[in-house]
Chain A
């Protein structure tokens, strides 16, 4: 396993929102990819968007401006 490092994690209420996020990021040249939701955030399963930790402000601004649906956005050690 790689050493832990900070990452920006966006979570969603459902899978369609997660897939919509992937499309949104592609269209807006935002970095990252879908990953299984980290256990530190939510026990169980589902998808989350992982992006560089220093992009929180950019993601928050772009997502809110576009009305992108998400449950939470935060930086955690992964």
Chain B
């Protein structure tokens, strides 16, 4: 199989990630739950992973790296925990439902008002729109670092400057960029960075987290066991326990820790460069094929995604043909990105997303181009 659905999850993992999970499952106790050898080993593993993530993202305090199951959980913690009822939030048309649905819930249940920076037909936004949408009630900007549908990357330095100038919280969904592009919390003025472990970071599914700026407090999304302060009726206020009720996915975090070692060795810069080169090879190949419509602006910064349609064919049928007839894994449909599909005019047809990883090769890309060309031949 040629796996080109890496924006959903990077299926191919570095071998040390797999080895670390297996080792953890045969030796690891419960982190922060006791002082015997296996519990301490778990606590050390989790702490090491916190330190590595803090270093990767430029987070000053490892204890402000919070582990969750995925970006969606992180975004729910951030959005429901940091945005005041009745305030106003600015987001964008590029967002995934992991951002949109928590915001819509706040709108319905907490009287939060929402505004969205619109995307044009190429998926680009006008940064001046952020300033135009700010009102006296605006409390936060919540936005993706890169669209999961088109790969369009937002300029977080610029958005961070706007947020800082207007004293707004900046909550960022880095699902598509963590491990695949450089992120610097300080330079980008990010207050809460939400990430998943199983995409660009190449760790196991069921891992993710958020980095919270020092001095920021969030109402816990869930409360419960913490391993400390057992007679306290409330969740401890100390980070990270305040936002980590219940047993962590220690086995997954062990794998994520190994993935972070791998990333440090190969470097995010090398990954980004290789993925970008493969993406451009694919884009240049498919964009010349008659009947193929490629979406997005390839002159702008982006992640390694190429999204297209063939003629007026149902995207699901094309994706199925790619899988069944060519052994190529892609993602069709709406990609949990309703507002961007509306902006592109593709709600009915959907689109076929090809998303590339560090482990893909030029040969795989060329085979995928040939497959698209064959499917595009008019009957």
State the A residues within 8 Å of B (CB): 13-20, 22, 34-36, 43-47
Contacts of B62 in A (CB 8 A): 16, 20
User: Are B240 and A45 in contact, CB atoms less than 8 angstroms apart?
Assistant: no
Does B231 contact A44, Cβ atoms closer than 8 Å?
Answer: yes
The B interface, classified by DSSP as helix, strand, loop or mixed, is loop
When the two chains form their complex, are residues A14 and B239 in contact, meaning their CB atoms are under 8 A apart? yes
User: B236 to A14, Cβ gap below 8 A?
Assistant: yes
Question: Does the CB pair B230–A43 fall under 8 Å?
Answer: yes
User: What is the interface of chain B, defined by CB distance below 8 A to chain A?
Assistant: 31-35, 40, 43-44, 47, 50, 62-63, 227-232, 236, 238-241
Apart from A16-B63, A17-B63, A34-B40, list 6 A-B contacts with CB within 8 A.
Answer: A14-B63, A14-B241, A16-B62, A36-B35, A45-B33, A46-B229
Residue in A closest to B32 when the chains form the complex, CB atoms: A15
The total number of A-B Cβ pairs within 8 Å is: 52
From B31, B228, B240, contact of A44 by CB (8 A): B228
A19 to B35, CA, bound (A): 11
Our pick among A13, A22, A43 for the contact of B238 (Cβ within 8 Å) is A13
Q: Which of chain A's residues has its CB closest to B61's CB? A: A16
Query: Which residue of chain A lies nearest to B44 when distances are taken between CB atoms in the complex?
Result: A19
Report the minimal beta-carbon distance from B315 to chain A, rounded to whole angstroms.
Answer: 45
Between B50, B227, B236, the greatest number of chain A beta carbons within 10 A of the residue's beta carbon is seen for: B227
Whether A14 contacts B240 in the complex (CB less than 8 A), given A46-B228, A47-B35, comes out as yes
- Contact (Cβ within 8 A) A16 B240: yes
Please name the residue on chain B nearest to A36 by beta carbon.
B35
- Using known A-B contacts A34-B35, A36-B34, A36-B35, determine if residue A15 contacts B230 with beta carbons closer than 8 Å: no
Select the residue from A16, A20, A22, A43 with max chain B CB neighbours within 10 A.
A16
- In angstroms, Cα B43 to Cα A56, docked, is 25
